[in-house]
Amino acid sequence: MYDKTVRRRRAVLALLVVLSLILLTAYFGEATNGGLHSVQRGFLTVVSPIQDGANKALKPVRDLFGWFGDTLHAKSQVGELRKQNDKLRKEVIANRANEHGYHELLGLYHLDQLTLNNYRPVTATVVGKSPNIWYQTIWIDKGTSSGVQKNDPVINSEGLVGKVVQAVPDGAVIDLITDSEVGVSARINGTGATGVIQPKVGDPNDLVLQYLPANTSVTKGEYVVTSGTVSPSSQDNSLYPPGIAIGQVSSVDEESAYKSVNVHPLANLHNLDVVQVLTYTQGSKPARLTSLQAGLSSSGLTGAGGGEGNQLASTGAGG
């Protein structure tokens, strides 16, 4: 009797471990349109409306807990934000003077730029978040029925948030810019030097802008924005429009051959309630560029080299 119990216990453990390993190997090896990914999409389709309903019901509980943290955080930020506000006011006045000349030049050279105006923003509520430091993902209540597609960029009022990795009719899953699978081609707003923004695993408050040219001059506090190119050095195939704010330079690492800087994300990724997904319609400029990028990726043209992002769209200081 005892032997039988022991054998059964060990058999169950072995079965479950083997099953997990089979799942892991099959999932890791298959393409994104494979069987297991389809099961995952099917599960999301079924669960999204339930999660959306549960989120609405549980919102008061979440808000109550969030209120305490938000109040403490807001009090500590007041002084710093006032100083920042004064500095930004001066910058806005200076930028407005330059804007007129910039638009004249665009018209003169007939430049057709990819900007945020080419996109149709879809506002969505965040209904779930991963607790795991290795998977920085959130769950939103808008999906393919609202025009959301895989790889669409996601922003909020503060800056870049991430990109869509999975979309079903009533919901979508977003990889945050702090997820280890995300890499965004970015540039320093002041100098125009480009590199690839990647997260530091385990540090949700810090990103690192890598592969900057060694002679690039970077100072603390400069803004980093999307460059409007695709980053071939990561698994990220999203085409982020240029000029979306990502973060501010917090420190510079001079030691490596390629300069890298630490960047503090502008968007508060701990506390996301509402985000906007930048969707596009068929035939629009982003759609044409995305299909062009997909074509280049499949022919291996964008995969070569490991340095800066390849320039795909003709972009300037868009926005």
Partner 1 sequence: MTLSGSLVARIAVLVVVVVFFQIGVVSEVPVLGVAVDLSPLVVAFVGLLCGSTLGAATGFAVGLLVDLALVQTLGVASLIFTLVGYWCGRLRELRDPQATLTPLLVGAAASAAATVGYSLMEFLLGVDAPVSLELLRQIVLGVVVNTVVALPMWAIVRRTLEPDLPDDPRRRRRRAYTTGGLSPLSRA
List residues binding partner 1 (CB under 8 A).
8-9, 12-13, 16-17, 19-28, 36, 39-40, 43-44, 47, 50-51, 54-55, 58, 61-62, 65-66, 69, 126-135, 137, 139, 165-166, 173, 180-181, 183, 198-206, 208, 234-235, 270-271
Q: Which residue, 40 or 310, is less far from partner 1 as judged by CB?
A: 40
Nearest to 238 by CA among 166, 150, 143, 306: 150
Strand partners, 173: 139, 166
> In the numeric block, which tokens belong to residue 314?
């003709």
Least distance from partner 1 to the Cβ atom of residue 23, Å? 3
> In the numeric block, which tokens belong to residue 1?
């009797």
Strand partners, 225: 187, 245
What is the distance between the alpha carbons of residues 243 and 186, in angstroms, rounded to a whole number? 9
Q: Which residue, 46 or 301, is less far from partner 1 as judged by CB?
A: 46
Backbone φ, ψ for residue 153 (5° rounding):
-70, 150
Nearest to 195 by CA among 253, 137, 112, 151: 253
Least distance from partner 1 to the Cβ atom of residue 166, Å? 5
Residue 302 near residue 284 (C-beta atoms within 8 A): no
Least distance from partner 1 to the Cβ atom of residue 71, Å? 14
Q: Which residue, 125 or 284, is less far from partner 1 as judged by CB?
A: 125
Q: Which residue, 75 or 110, is less far from partner 1 as judged by CB?
A: 75
Least distance from partner 1 to the Cβ atom of residue 248, Å? 18
3-state secondary structure of 146: helix
Least distance from partner 1 to the Cβ atom of residue 96, Å? 38
Residue 269 near residue 160 (C-beta atoms within 8 A): no
Q: Which residue, 128 or 319, is less far from partner 1 as judged by CB?
A: 128
